[in-house]
Amino acid sequence: MKILYLMRHAKSSWNFDGLSDKERPLNNRGRTDAPQMGQALAARNLQLDLLVSSPAVRALSTAALVAKELNYPPERIQVLDGVYEADLDRLVGLVQELPDEANSVLLVGHNPTITDTVNYLSPSAVHEMTTAAVVCLHFQTDRWADVHRHNAELYFVDSPKNHED
């Protein structure tokens, strides 16, 4: 079985004129939501083989904050440039190119592509992924090249809203 966690980066800041889109950092809410979602994943006893992130500062920061909560070594985060501006076909292609020795993978990326990819791979529809939301899909296959909605199960959808006091 392959387990894929697709996560939209946490809330980013628009307060820095002169920064490129790729350089935008997390805002205060994002810096709170990302570790909170990492804790929620840790509470599910998540054991990651691989954490993949877009190179955008907001995505990589989200990945690093989640990794810390999961005791996943930050130096093992794999940054894939293609995630940043990927469309649906490219992101699905990146998933299908994941190494087969990794059975459990978290990929941190951007909307609208994360939501599109979830809905392409999931047998059940998921509304728009909010910032820091995570979807878990289980695939009945031993090869990432074979992941498809026909061998998928939507295991859970989680977001920071589910963890508010």
Show binding-site residues for substrate: 8-15, 58
On whether the CB atoms of residues 106 and 66 are closer than 8 A, the answer is: yes
Burial class (CB in 10 A: 0-12, 13-18, 19+), 161: exposed
DSSP run (H or E) holding 113: helix 113-121
Measured between alpha carbons, how far is 40 from 52 in angstroms, rounded to an integer?
19
Residues tagged in the binding site annotation: 8-15, 58
Its sign, for the CA torsion 76, 82, 86, 91, is: negative
Please report where in the chains the tokens 């800041």 appear, as a residue: 13
Separation CA 17–CA 24 (nearest Å)? 10
